[in-house]
Structure 1
Amino acid sequence: MSYIRRSLEKIVLQVTKEYPVLLLSGPRQVGKTTMLKKLMEGTVRNYVSLDDLQERELARTDPELFLQLHKPPILIDEVQYAPELFPYIKLIVDKEQNKGDFWLTGSQVFSLMRGVQESLAGRVALLSLSSLSQAEAYGGEEEMFTLDTESLLSRKKGRKLADAEEIFKRIFKGSMPAIVSGDISSPGIFYNSYLSTYIERDVKSLSDAIDSLKFLRFITALAARCSQMLNISELARDAELNQKQVKDWLGILETLGILFYLYPYSNNLLKRLVKTPKVYFYDTGLVAYLTKWSSPETLASGAMSGSILENYVVSEIRKTYLNQGKEAFIYYYRDKDAKEIDLVLEQDGELHPIEIKKSANPASEILRVFPVLDKPSLKRGNGAVICLKTDLSAFNKENYIVPVWMI
């Protein structure tokens, strides 16, 4: 597969000089191992994968011998299969005091975190890799998405302008490296294999009680509700599950890095707020496959076009932070009077309201809800409407019109 340079590479090299252990988490097939192997070229770092059942058995039953045979500096792939390694890695790290001795990857985020926090606290840098961002896939320097003028102008450099047709092609295709690189031409074939080979295998490793057909029905019902507030009872009804199963399976998808939540912005001066999170997928290609859209054109004109566009924008903004090794402080706003803001970006003591619209010419009336964030102890910063317009524009000096391709 032709290699696509990842924005996280420079962060990996930086933390390798500062920490003895790097743990890179993220879902399968997003390129964790590919990126780290690329960075290993020309070095003395060794490699071992715990997808190899013999290596996995040795790591679990005799971790000390495993680490004698596989000496640092080393990349250990899919380390979640042998949490028994963590205490022994700690012993080596404390004894040798070498930076960058261990690179670890894993596909099960929260199960990994538990083992790391218990054994390697203070010794490990935690990074997350998702599927490709727009900048990685289609060109341009990547930086965290903000709404100051200079940052927005700099985002245009090296990027390829994209109209509505092109944006929905990107949404439909998805952001998995194998598809974006052109090595696999059919998203449908890829996602069918991805569900059955990778997700189903990992799901069953986390819960033996899962029925494959029921799980497919569940994740399909969830995909149809992307960008919506999570409704456990509706999901349970449509997927023919009980509410406990739904909660358990949502936890598994979050653990595998398939979905994430956007929580409502909360402040004690903002009363009457809803408390339910909204659910998003990292990869819209998987959503389009699950919800059975046959082409970018049918998706763009279909009933889900607005919600999947919102999912795409929110996930892309989140990726710009993850790719710098940062946490994105993003929320949504909705109160019990049904006033809603799609996205609230908190940065440097300011709240930036953002609306997401499937329009090339958004109306200024959209801005009317933004003042709900004006409270004595809060400062409202620049706002924006992110939409299908092809060039950067503005309603006024405080509110921009930002094309989706510039995220």
Structure 2
Amino acid sequence: MIKRRLENKIRESLQRSPSVALMGPRQVGKTTIALNISENIPSIYLDLENMLDLERVRDITAFHEENREKLIILDEVQRKPEMFASLRGIIDKERRKGNKAGQFLFLGSASIDLLQQSSESLAGRIAYIELHGIDVLEYTAQNSGLITPLWLRGGFPESLLAASDQDSLKWRRDFIKTYLERDIPQLGPRIPAQTLERFWTMLAHNQGGVMNAAQLARNLEVSAVTVGRYLDLMVDLLLVRRLQPWTFNVGKRLVRAPKIYVRDSGITHALLNISTYNDLLGHPVVGGSWEGFVIENLLSVAPSNALPFYYGTPGGAEIDLILEFSGSEKWAIEVKRSSAPSLSKGFHIACEDIKADRRYVVYSGNERFPMREGVIAIPLHDLMQELLNTKK
């Protein structure tokens, strides 16, 4: 089992906040972390997909009264969003008794439902944490050498740790099927599984491409509005990333549509039936896959005050990832799969356009070195560590 970095952060948050919401897609490791935490403090774990457990919290006030000395862990909390109204009163009552922290740990697979319901009732009483897939720092802490297995299989623990590439691919295909046929219908949308799978696969084929709703709509034979609704759903489920353009006034025409990424590289490859590393290297998506893999890893360690964007102009000036920190410091990050990276004139122009404070190119080598015009070539692992250090 690979140690997850966020486990300590969740423990610290529980010492400060009455409730903590841990969000992430299914099977990413939320329950494992919660059970690890429960081994060291008095806790009770309930899975709200289990009908018996769901019945036990139907009156959450009475349930809490019986278990008020324990951390109450509620898994798949989006199944019972109406309980959040009652939780506010419970938390405030405990505060008056001097119990200010560590009362509830919520686990949720659908971020938008959890955020909408809890933020209205629990403002100032809840801390939000997102759990990404296993990342490069977590993986290399226990696996020396190449990160290609992580890139190929993705960050879902059962996929990454499977006995073989074929076993991993089978797990990811089953994961996709389960989401399409069971999990998404439970959330309410009446979307045919076959249609949504086609949409998901189209996004994988165009990994890292600028969103073209009209083209997707024609291919799916639906309206552009419907395509937008499909995309909103996949983003809300933390399966797809919509990277917004940096559009502040620079006196130029800018690309204003978002870039779209299937967030887990292993799911991208499963949707495209890529089973081995050699298959990946020969596939047209290899460049987009590597770009998405790097961006997701960087965002998994970026501080909360770093907002992500990309930059593009019709004339070819572009930056793959901009991190804009509070205080307006901007990092411009280009992603190259080559072990000997070279940069286009468009990247340098874009850096001048946005007045980047730091300029990096993440490449597949192992050494950090300076390039011209203030650009630093840096391995992914090193830039992730640098971002982690900015949190201190």
Same fold flag (TM > 0.5): yes
Given residue 374 of structure 1, which amino acid in structure 2 is its aligned partner?
A: E
The equivalent residue for 1:87 is 85
> Structure 1 residue 327: deviation in Å?
5.0
The equivalent residue for 1:53 is 51
Matched, 1:128 2:107: no
Distance 1:48 1:312, change over 3 A: same
CA distance in structure 2 between the partners assigned to 1:395 and 1:132 by the alignment: 31
The equivalent residue for 2:321 is 343
Given residue 32 of structure 1, which amino acid in structure 2 is its aligned partner?
A: K
SS at match of 2:347: helix
SS at match of 2:150: helix
The equivalent residue for 1:359 is 338
Pairs aligned (count): 376
- Shifted more, 24-33 versus 351-360: the winner is 351-360
Within a 5 Å distance, the mapping from 1:59-74 to structure 2 comes to: 59-60=57-58, 62-68=59-65, 70-71=67-68, 72-74=70-72
> Structure 1 residue 73: deviation in Å?
2.1
Within a 5 Å distance, the mapping from 1:167-178 to structure 2 comes to: 167=148, 169-178=149-158
Within a 5 Å distance, the mapping from 1:305-316 to structure 2 comes to: 305-316=286-297
> Structure 1 residue 110: deviation in Å?
0.5
- Larger relative contact order (CA 8 Å, sep ≥ 6): 1
CA distance in structure 1 between the partners assigned to 2:170 and 2:189 by the alignment: 26
The equivalent residue for 2:6 is 8
Q: Contact conserved, 2:319 with 2:350, CA < 8 A, in 1?
A: no
Q: Contact conserved, 1:132 with 1:176, CA < 8 A, in 2?
A: yes
CA distance in structure 2 between the partners assigned to 1:382 and 1:38 by the alignment: 39
The equivalent residue for 2:389 is none
Q: Contact conserved, 1:26 with 1:129, CA < 8 A, in 2?
A: yes
Q: Contact conserved, 2:243 with 2:309, CA < 8 A, in 1?
A: yes
Aligned sequence identity (%): 28
> Structure 1 residue 70: deviation in Å?
4.9
Distance 1:299 1:183, change over 3 A: closer
Which residue of 387, 395, 398 maps to 2:371?
395
Cα RMSD for the two superposed structures: 2.2
Within a 5 Å distance, the mapping from 1:89-238 to structure 2 comes to: 89-97=87-95, 98=99, 99-139=101-141, 160-162=144-146, 166-167=147-148, 169-182=149-162, 186-238=167-219
Within a 5 Å distance, the mapping from 1:284-295 to structure 2 comes to: 284-295=265-276
Distance 1:135 1:70, change over 3 A: same
> Structure 1 residue 79: deviation in Å?
0.9
Which residue of 339, 347, 363 maps to 1:369?
347
Q: Show CA shifts across 1:310-345 (max 9, x none).
A: 111111111112xx6x25422111113232111222
Q: Contact conserved, 2:153 with 2:169, CA < 8 A, in 1?
A: no
Distance 1:384 1:191, change over 3 A: same
Which residue of 248, 253, 270 maps to 1:267?
248
CA distance in structure 2 between the partners assigned to 1:332 and 1:249 by the alignment: 22
The equivalent residue for 1:146 is none
Distance 1:43 1:193, change over 3 A: same
Q: Show CA shifts across 1:44-72 (max 9, x none).
A: 11111101123324545x34344345544
Q: Contact conserved, 2:61 with 2:90, CA < 8 A, in 1?
A: no
Given residue 320 of structure 2, which amino acid in structure 1 is its aligned partner?
A: D
Given residue 179 of structure 1, which amino acid in structure 2 is its aligned partner?
A: S
> Structure 1 residue 397: deviation in Å?
7.7
Given residue 46 of structure 2, which amino acid in structure 1 is its aligned partner?
A: V
The equivalent residue for 1:383 is 359
SS at match of 2:371: strand
SS at match of 1:260: strand
> Structure 1 residue 217: deviation in Å?
1.1
CA distance in structure 2 between the partners assigned to 1:285 and 1:367 by the alignment: 32
Given residue 376 of structure 2, which amino acid in structure 1 is its aligned partner?
A: Y
